Structure 1
């Protein structure tokens, strides 16, 4: 029976009931996994996945528990595109699979960790993981195993190949990506068992054609890809297909059709509240289109959608990036370290270990020296930047505001005055400040204020607020030595940022240097100068 077929459940329920009666938890996990596969509703898939985890834990079998956690992670990843929840399940699976002898299980988990790393933009790291998966799955998909095992290994091989192509594309390795696409298409041919994978490879082929400015060829590959992805229900990659179809029509000067497809992307975003980072441009294109059309209502709507997309992407990245480094990368290194320590427990390996350690220390010292040099250069650049800002203020240099939109001129001028007062009075240090709160304080609506900030400050609200806060705290650190004694959390609160990590990331993004490194360098400079600052208030 096909996936998501409710006709399977009369048989599945008998199987589950029998397994429960016999307390055969291995069979019960299989029954619940079948429930996930054949359920047509995502809510039911998640319910059966939860039951599979419960049954696996009753068995006490680590491999079974790991498999169940992966199954639940796949539901969150594939059917919901909830990367945060999916990662939690994958990490749980990883903990249970560390000592397993089941190689298929190890590489299955490795694949999903790679998917999260790729989503975060760690393409080099994830590409290495997918290559390992391919090296494992490919030969087994052509072996004399049971047909079911061959099928599962080929699925693993094709999906790993697809993810590797995504990494190659983002790393600018066009030749390698094209070669892998051809390999994928030759492997799937017209086999109905791998129709979904064929859709992925056709999508990759269409994107490759687009980047070569072959727009009609792009459409020839994307249209059948979209049809296959609709059937499989993969809304995330379906939205990517719509996006590139829209861009192709745009470059073919068919604006009307392009807008239809860009709106399809927005429709998927509205329904699922998920968007891949590369689709951010979709909203920029829609905003520019309606700006040219002088349709203020649509322009404001898509501006709001872009802000919402930014917020969702940002939340994902803030959660996923530290977690995968802390709970996967670091633990993996520690596990490798422990294995090395066990392997080197005999005296014959001690000398070799010491040599490796010495070489490693030398390399670390070199890296540290290079990093320190880079930090020094970044500090000097930041210092020069603030000197220029100081000179500009002392000379009262200011560029005249230029009307950029068809918004009411008097209202725009009033909002710009209020923003100037907001900046001068350092009101941006308010905690929990949102565009809705600021709009309320200004006596206007958030969409109107957002557009004025976008047009006249040339950044979105979040970026505008972040830059004000970081510039403010950076200036205090330059001017007042007392602030150099404060901890990162205190500095974050001083400028209105609630999270220590968020403050550190924003400081690095805007200033190009971590706050801890900046404070250390500033202290060194002041100590060398006898503690006297060369800066005046800006």
Structure 2
């Protein structure tokens, strides 16, 4: 009886002690430190002293999970040194060799590159690494976080349909998770994932021309975030989309008010990319109201953001076209040239990002997803056979394409250099001076006095660029020279070595080629404008003549010249 009594007493004591053990665990040194800062606002640098205390404790105990957690807290609270904390988290995760930790660390650093700096190349590298570790750990929350980030990059590249499919997947996952019973911190993360997925879906629908669907999603987002102080960042995103929608529905005054409020919310979290979008659409709204004095300071603010961060969303490039046109109209050559240079620089950055990101995300994410799906339908032997054959075929095609492309580019470069050599040596595209030499035995039955007089008039005609007159004919020119068509045609054929049409065509092409090479503003002109500038009737005629005379396509000549201009600008800046 005594033994039974003692046993029951021991069981009762152990049962009553369990909450005490839990409390002792809860009151660990880590808990005590974290409790003092965990509820502070993002980018609150006053929390960093406590965060550093937390990481020092974890270092001394060689507790890698706690140390990574501490560095992630540092990312959240640091306003200016997020990358340093993110690098430290990756370093410690690699030391731990824990795949879950490495996934979280790479995802955190990729998010810093994406959100705080818009360095999409670096962000994509880290997201793809996180994706690989996430697949091995089968953590659905992390997999969907990575999928969301990759979808954002797809949206940036303009693959809106593909991005939309991923955002639908992530919003569905995060919505269901946010409706379940979770710890408050997990609930917060899932709700943010849901709201951000909705925001990005709205962007995709807007760019796909489905504005009504975009508006309905924006209204859902606003209804969820308007009165919730924890999600004011997301509230600012939905306001931005509402303001853009108001602009496209010609509600310009409402659009300006909404976008100014959205800009304020985005500025609080230092999301400079969306701040620039707000500036741009505020400026466009003022322009639509006919108030250019109010509009252009906002367009200039977009340029300030670009100068500071060297990043520009593709949809904002039209901002520079507005500025260039405005200063061209007002004959301010310096500012026109400045904004033209900025546009060239922005296009250069966008073009540089686009092929790298699209190739990387296809090869290392889309293609892997396809292979994962096929692995459930085919045996490993079939997949291996298919892949080896496909890769070999692709390698052969790629090699042939590279050889062809290199050969083509070399030919184009040689042709371009030949044209450039003609221009820099101060000769026209046709050697007129050599043809102007009086021949010792001319075959013309025309008085030498008349020949000399017409040759002088032709020389003046060339020097004054009279050939740029639209609709010029042999008859019109003969009338201007006070002679007849027969005399003029014969002299051109004898002394210029070609008929009238070819003569005028080569003069015009020589003129426009020189302008494209020496005057940067011509590089911004459309083909129609270039044709008008040199007197040619249509863009098709201009393109055909330019290729015939110079041996290089007009589009290729402009592309190479733009590259040279950007290189010259960068060299000047260095």
TM-score (norm 2): 0.63
Between stretches 122-131 and 90-99, larger displacement belongs to: 90-99
Residue of structure 1 equivalent to 2:94: 57
Answer yes or no: is 1:216 the counterpart of 2:253: yes
> SS state of the match for residue 72, structure 2?
helix
Query: How far apart, in 1, do the equivalents of 2:308 and 2:507 lie?
Result: 39
- Alignment match, 1:153: 190
Kindly indicate whether the alpha-carbon contact (under 8 Å) linking 2:55 and 2:70 is maintained by their aligned counterparts in 1.
yes
Give 1 or 2 for the bigger CA radius of gyration: 2
In the alignment, which residue of structure 1 is the partner of 2:74?
35
> Structure 1 residue 21 and structure 2 residue 63: aligned?
no
Q: Is the 8 A contact 2:127 2:150 kept in 1?
A: yes
2:467/2:508 contact within 8 Å kept: no
| Residues 282 and 298, structure 2, Cα contact 8 Å, conserved in 1 | yes
TM-score (norm 1): 0.67
What residue in structure 1 maps to residue 362 of structure 2?
325
1:176-225 Cα deviation digits (max 9, x unpaired): 10110010000102212111101100000010111111111111211110
Once the two structures are superposed, what CA deviation does each residue of 1:85-140 show, in whole Å capped at 9, x if it has no partner? 11111111111111223110010000001000000000000000000001100122
Distance 2:187 2:528 in 1: 55
Following superposition, the deviation at residue 454 of structure 1 comes to 2.8
Q: Distance between the aligned counterparts of 1:459 and 1:112, measured in 2? A: 42
Whether the 8 Å CA contact 1:100–1:106 is kept in 2: the answer is no
CA distance in 2, matches of 1:323, 1:170: 23
Q: Report the Cα distance in structure 2 between the residues aligned to 1:152 and 1:33, rounded to whole angstroms.
A: 14
1:197/1:317 CA distance change after superposition, 3 Å: same
Residues 232-262 of structure 1: CA deviation (Å, up to 9, x unaligned): 1000000000000000001111110001111
Pairs aligned (count): 392
Structure 1 residues 215 and 422: alpha-carbon distance in aligned structure 2, compared to 1, 3 A threshold? closer
State the match for 1:420 in structure 2.
Answer: 510
The aligned counterpart of 1:199 is 236
For residues 560 and 334 of structure 2, the distance between their equivalents in structure 1, rounded to whole angstroms, comes to 32
Q: Distance in 2 between matches of 1:92 and 1:160?
A: 21
Match of 1:4 among 43, 50, 55: 43
Cα separation, 2, equivalents of 1:54 and 1:334 = 31
Contact in 2 for aligned 1:15/1:31 (Cα 8 Å):
yes
Cα deviation 1:141-164 (Å, max 9, x = unaligned): 122111111111000000011000
CA distance in 2, matches of 1:149, 1:459: 58
Could you list the runs of 5+ residues in structure 1 that have no partner in the other structure? 358-398, 404-415, 425-434, 443-448, 478-491, 500-538
Distance 1:142 1:73 in 2: 27
**1:105-504 map, 5 Å:** 105-341=142-378, 401=468, 420=510, 449-455=519-525
Partner of 2:455: none
For 1:85 and 1:456, the matched residues in 2 are separated by 35
1:368 maps to none
Give me the whole-angstrom Cα distance separating, in 2, the residues matched to 1:146 and 1:6: 26
Deviations, residues 276-314 of structure 1 (Å, cap 9, x unaligned): 000011001111111121111111111111111111111
Note if contact 2:157-2:358 (Cα within 8 Å) is conserved in structure 1. yes
Q: What is the Cα deviation at residue 335 of structure 1?
A: 1.8
Q: Match for 1:90 among 120, 127, 133?
A: 127
Name the SS for the 1:340 alignment partner. Answer: coil
Structure 1 residues 421 and 214, CA gap change in structure 2 (3 angstroms): closer
Over the aligned positions, Cα root-mean-square deviation in angstroms equals 3.4
For residue 77 of structure 1, report the CA deviation from its aligned partner.
Answer: 0.6
CA distance in 2, matches of 1:456, 1:339: 52
**Quick one: distance in 2 between partners of 1:104 and 1:453?**
49
Cα distance in 2 for partners of 1:418, 1:55 equals 66
C-alpha contact 1:453 1:459 (8 A) present in aligned 2: no
Q: Distance in 2 between matches of 1:234 and 1:100?
A: 31
- Counting only pairs closer than 5 Å after superposition, residues 68-107 of structure 1 correspond to structure 2 as 68-107=105-144
1:496–1:119 distance in 2 versus 1, CA, 3 Å = closer
SS in 2 for 1:145: coil
Distance 1:24 1:312, change over 3 A: same
Query: 2:377 aligns to what SS in structure 1?
Result: helix
